[in-house]
Amino acid sequence: MPESLSINGQLLFAGLAIGSVYALVALGFVMIFRATNVVNFAQGEFSMLGAYFLFTLWHGLKLDYFAAIVVALVIMVGVGLLFEISIYYPLRNRTFLPVIIATIGASIMMQNGALAVFGPSPEKVRPVVETVEGTGGITLAGVFFDYQYVIILLVTVLLVGLQYLFFEYTILGKKMQATSQDKDMARLLGIPVAYMIALTFIYSSLLGGLSGMLVAPIFFVTHKMGATLGLKAFAATICGGFGDVRGAILGGLALGVIESFGGAYISVIYKDGFSFLVLILFLLLRPQGIFGEKVAEKA
Amino acid sequence: MTSHDVNDRTTPIRTWFKPGYLALALGVVVVVLLPLLFTSRYTTNLLILGASWGIATLGLVVVLGYTGQISLAQAAFYGIGAYAVALGTTRWDVNWWLALILGLAGAAIAGAVLGTTTLKLGGHYLAMVTICFQIIYTLINTNWIAVTGGPDGISNIKRPPFVFPLNTAQRYAWFALATLCLVGGLVWWLRDTPLGRAMRAIRENELAAEALGVDTRRVKVIAFVLSAVIAAVGGAIYASGYLYISPDSFNFDHAVAFLAMVLVGGSESPLGAILGATLLTFLPEWLRDLKRIYLVIYGCAIILVIVFMPEGLWGYVRLAGRRFARKLALPSATRALQVGERGAAGEEILRVEQLAKHFGGLKAVDGVDFAVRRGEIHALIGPNGSGKTTIINLLSGLYVPTAGRITFLKRDIVGLRPSRIAHIGMARSFQNLRLFRELTVWENVLVGAQREESREAETQQHALAAIEFAGLSDKAQELCRNLPYGHQKLVELARALAGEPDLLLLDEPGAGLNQTEKHELVRLLKRLNEMGLTILIVEHDMSLVSSVASSATVLNFGKKIAEGTAAEVLRHPAVVEAYLGNREVALGV
């Protein structure tokens, strides 16, 4: 049955591509969580903002597409820093509950701020590779490989690779790792902890922004796009094992594929529900995720 | 002393000024006045909306304010209540009240399911699960058109039959506000019941609550169920008030709005919650120009409140009210602490056989045997890392042993939950203080004293006796976090004693105390021992050990290296070596 094979191949490819966007956003979660033990419920909004900045610069200010991406990323640096200063820093010595709630507050603020500024109508952004007939791509073995999807996959692989090299082979990377493992010890060793944490937030914001720009041509750009992305990325992180980079990537890809197949074979309407069902199952049966270790509270 | 005085002692202890009494009076006035003052159709509808949101917010007081569990699914339960009444009165054609009961039952079941999934989880996971629950609810609500009517919603919902017909918006507003006051009163009353105390103990320190005998799993599920049922009441009020509902009123945004309301108002207080709900219901209406960005303001308000006023607006009201509050001293106890004479002295009450606990490759406890006899103070000593605290955690049920048997009062207690073991008669203190910091000394000790089967008056007598024994009577109404360290240690002791255990486990009770405080501790321990209490003590201060303990077990690297009377073991060569190192090796002989 070559036809069903190619349909399944198509579904798999689409799932992996969307999954790798989840993985990118999830990486942002993991970075912040490892550095600060804070779960940033506004992570998805970074993606939304990234997409809107790109849209404004490219469509509104008529900048060159690639120049617009660079400028938008620079703005994302500011967003990440502002977020760290206004949300994380005042609450750094409080328990997790106030911090979670504050990041939820920030998420509502950004979402509705975007709604107020850009309005409710969805906007469209061009794909990275623009062809005359619209979507470019190549067909291999009956499966159509959309360029945008291919690029998303490539960017994810590239970023994960760079991140690995950064943490393993640079002093700055080691310092950031040290900060995430033991802040007090890192401080005693002369590592500027506050600066490292600010860097982490900036990096997360960049990851989020970039993922938003990459999915912008596939989904429409709306003020709600970040909420869905963020929640699914968070679900991916939990399934993979919280705080684990491999887990975030694997979890993201798996959720993308599950959604893609679930939407095709079970129900399109409830497509968005699948990842959450999978998540609840995971939480009940294996709360530590695929790679996570069981943690017990010390008495 | 007159008989009147004696009677007074058995009445519950309260401060004479409770903002609640004032609020009750205010509530009645408000309920009567508001619908008379606001007579336009529009404002009356807002009153109804505010009341229904206020009720939903009160549910969050129970689950978030009291129990400390975050829930972002409150709009789902609110929706379940609303849809039950809507479907009941339009499609199934049943009585409104029956529809309400069905809705409450449905919400209770959904709440129990959500509560059960949270048992293994806390913190971030919990927030996430409740969000998932809310999103799945919204998906079903919008897409299962055959049942819910889909995005079009349901219209022509009926109003409840009541003593007077609720046919005008004004009459219905009275009904809604009265319901709000009723639910608010119930939530306020819940706070100081044994259940409410158990909830707040879980919020402050779940592990300690469990070890003191609070069945934390049950209490957490109950908190979720109560919160769900309360939200469903709010939903029902809303549906019959507006006569039309659609899924938009029950989505994630509303769950967030409820959270914002409870935080702005003050999550630990029902009045604060109502205040928050009122403010956030009317504020967007007053700031009509800002209507497009009112959710931005919501988000901003949440952040500002969290950063600058963690106790919400009600925190300020309470601060102002404190001036008028006078703390009453506790009455003296009518009975002494009863901790002994429940069996023959010298009988074995605890037997540990081949007990082992491995953490991965680390053998923290590796095949230890010992026994504790009734009426003795048994010391468990050894250098750092020898497995003492691990054994205390195994005995009290916080850890499950890798192998071995623990027999307590002739029962095998391996695998029992800590709260069960506490009920059987074992109490403990913690090496690092685990007090309920935001509760008063009195409340801390009450949590230690309360048992499911005992009456409140009895619980209070037990707690009074323990507080008097520890000499904390004049500190009883203080919040624990305001006490100095030495007193906090005493509160831990009193809290453990209040359950009147057969066996008391003390994990380094002397750590961090100065000499005077240590003498006081020795005096208390000796008195407890004279009263007949059996104690297993882990301690590093050998002079403290030798002055109270009658027998001792010595551990090193998870194994027993000596046992006997306290004086014997302290002279034992293996013990000396374990503590001080080998003299021959040290001298190079």
Per-residue pLDDT at A173 exceeds 90: no
| Angstrom distances, CA of residue B211 to CA of A61, B154, B214, B491 | 63, 49, 7, 15
Q: Give how far A274 is from chain B: nearest CA, Å.
A: 9
Q: Helix B456-469 vs helix B485-497: angle between axes, to the nearest 10 degrees?
A: 140
Left (φ > 0), alpha (ψ -120 to 50) or beta: where does B544 sit? Answer: alpha
pLDDT at A292: 60
Residue from the list A104, A287, A299 with its beta carbon closest to the beta carbon of B302: A104
Task: For B402, list phi and psi in degrees, rounded to 5.
Answer: -70, -40
pLDDT for residue A75: 93
Tens place of pLDDT for every residue, chain B, 589 residues?
Answer: 333 433 344 444 455 455 567 767 777 787 778 777 777 788 888 889 999 999 999 999 999 989 988 888 999 999 999 999 988 888 888 888 998 999 999 999 999 988 887 777 666 777 778 888 888 888 888 888 877 887 888 888 888 888 888 788 888 888 898 899 899 889 988 988 889 999 999 988 888 899 998 998 899 999 999 999 999 999 999 998 888 888 888 988 888 888 888 888 888 888 888 888 888 888 777 766 666 677 787 788 888 888 888 788 888 877 777 666 666 677 777 787 787 777 777 788 889 888 888 887 788 888 888 888 888 899 888 888 888 888 899 989 888 888 888 888 888 888 889 999 988 889 999 888 898 988 888 889 998 888 877 788 888 888 888 888 888 888 888 888 888 888 888 899 899 988 888 899 999 888 888 888 888 889 999 988 888 889 999 988 888 888 888 888 888 888 888 888 877 887 888 777 777 666 565 555 4
Tally Cβ neighbours within 10 Å of residue B297: 18
Of A242, A269, A299, the CB nearest to B143: A269
B8 CB burial (10 A radius; 0-12, 13-18, 19+): exposed
Contact B235, B75 (CB under 8 A): no
Interface test with B, best of A115, A224, A276, A295 (most B CBs within 10 A): A276
Q: In this predicted structure, which of A40-44, A224-228, B572-576 has the lowest mean pLDDT? A: B572-576
CA dihedral A128, A130, A135, A139 (to 10 degrees): -90
Please check whether residue B161 touches A, CB under 8 A.
no
pLDDT in tens, A133-153: 656 767 777 677 778 888 888
The mean pLDDT of A43-67, rounded to a whole number, is 89
SS3 B342: coil
Q: B303 to chain A, minimum CA–CA distance in Å?
A: 5
Extract the tokens encoding B181: 């006051």
On the question of pLDDT at A20 being above 80, the answer is yes
User: CA A289, CA B389: separation in Å to the nearest integer?
Assistant: 29
- B302 CB near a chain A CB, below 8 Å? yes
User: How many helices and strands in chain B, by DSSP H and E?
Assistant: 25, 10
Determine, for residues A276 and B136 on separate chains, whether the beta-carbon distance falls below 8 Å. Answer: yes
Contact B295 A104 (CB under 8 A): no
From the list B117, B124, B295, which residue is nearest A100 (CB)? B124
Q: Which two tokens stand for residue B49?
A: 């909306």
Smallest Cα distance from A299 to chain B, Å:
7
Looking at beta carbons, which residues of chain B come within 8 Å of A98?
306, 310
pLDDT confidence band for A53 (50 / 70 / 90): very high
Buried b (16+ CB within 10 A) or exposed e, B129-160: bbbbbbbbbbbbbbbeeeebbeeebbeebbbb
Residue A42 · residue A79 · CB < 8 Å: no
Q: Which residues of A touch B262 (CB under 8 A)?
A: none
Specify the pairing of strand B551-556 against strand B362-373. Answer: unpaired
Phi-psi region of B564 (alpha: psi -120 to 50; beta: other; left: phi over 0): left
Quote the pTM value: 0.84
Q: What would the mean pLDDT of A126-133 be, rounded to a whole number?
A: 71
Q: CA of A218 to nearest chain B CA: how many angstroms apart?
A: 22
- What contacts B46, CB < 8 A, 6 or more positions away? B38, B281, B282, B285
Tokens of B195: 């259940």
* Distance between CA atoms of residues B202 and A291, nearest Å: 30
Q: Dig out the tokens for B141 from the structure.
A: 């609500």
Burial of B261 by CB count in 10 Å (0-12 exposed, 13-18 middle, 19+ buried)? buried
Question: What confidence score (pLDDT) does residue A132 get?
Answer: 60
pLDDT in tens, B518-569: 888 899 999 888 888 899 999 888 888 888 888 888 888 888 888 888 778 8
Q: Is B421 on the interface with A (CB under 8 A)?
A: no
The whole-number pLDDT of residue A289 equals 66
| Closest by Cβ to A299, choosing from B260, B299, B430 | B430
Contact A270 B143 (CB under 8 A): yes
Cβ–Cβ below 8 Å for B139 and A269: yes
**What residues of chain B lie within 8 A of the CB of A100, using their CB?**
70, 123-124, 127
- First-residue to last-residue Cα distance in chain B: 75
Find residues 34-63 of chain B whose CB sits inside 8 Å of chain A: none
**Mean of pLDDT over chain A:** 82
Contact B303 A106 (CB under 8 A): yes
**CB count, 10 Å around CB of A152?**
25
Three-class secondary structure of residue A40 per DSSP: coil
Chain B nearest-CA distance from A167, in A, is: 26
Residue B274, phi-psi category: left (phi > 0), alpha (psi -120 to 50), beta (remainder): alpha
Q: Does B146 touch chain A (CB under 8 A)?
A: no
| Nearest by Cα to B430 from B420, B418, B440 | B418
pLDDT of A295 > 70? The answer is no
pLDDT of residue B96: 87
Quick one: pLDDT at residue B80?
A: 93
Residue A287 with chain B: CB contacts under 8 Å:
120-121, 125
Query: What's the CA gap between A170 and A183, in Å, rounded?
Result: 19
How many residues make up chain B in this entry? 589
Distance from CA of A210 to the nearest CA of B (A): 24
Q: Terminal CA-to-CA distance of chain A, rounded, Å?
A: 59
Residues of A in CB contact (< 8 Å) with B are 39, 41, 86-87, 90-91, 94, 96-98, 100-102, 104-113, 115-116, 227, 231, 234-235, 238, 242, 269-270, 272-273, 276-277, 279-280, 283-284, 287, 296-297, 299
- Compute the radius of gyration of chain B from its Cα atoms: 28
Inspect the interface and report whether the beta carbons of B389 and A113 lie closer than 8 Å: no
B257 DSSP β-pair partners: none
Q: What is the mean pLDDT of residues A9-38?
A: 83
Task: Suggest the residue from B120, B132, B434 to mutate for an interface test with chain A (most A CBs closer than 10 A).
Answer: B132
In chain A, residues with a C-beta closer than 8 Å to the C-beta of B132 are: 231, 235, 276, 279-280
Closest Cβ–Cβ partner in A97, A108, A115 for B70: A97
Distances (CA, A) of A171 to A49, A163, A196, A244, B506: 31, 13, 12, 21, 47
Which residues 6+ apart lie within 8 Å of B583 measured at CB? B577
- What is d(CA B297, CA B82) in angstroms, rounded to the nearest whole number? 27
Q: Which residues of B213-244 are buried (b: 16+ CB within 10 A; e: fewer)?
A: bbbbbebbbbbbbbbbbbbbbbbbbbbbbbee
| Secondary structure letter of residue A182 according to DSSP | -
| Predicted pLDDT of residue A45 | 92
Answer for the pair A255, A236: CB distance below 8 angstroms, yes or no: yes
Please, are residues B207 and A299 in contact by the beta-carbon 8 Å criterion? yes
Q: How close, in Å, is residue A66 to chain B by CA atoms?
A: 31
- Nearest residue in B to A33, CA atom: B124
A-contacting residues in B 107-136 (Cβ below 8 Å)? 117, 120-121, 123-125, 127-129, 131-133, 135-136
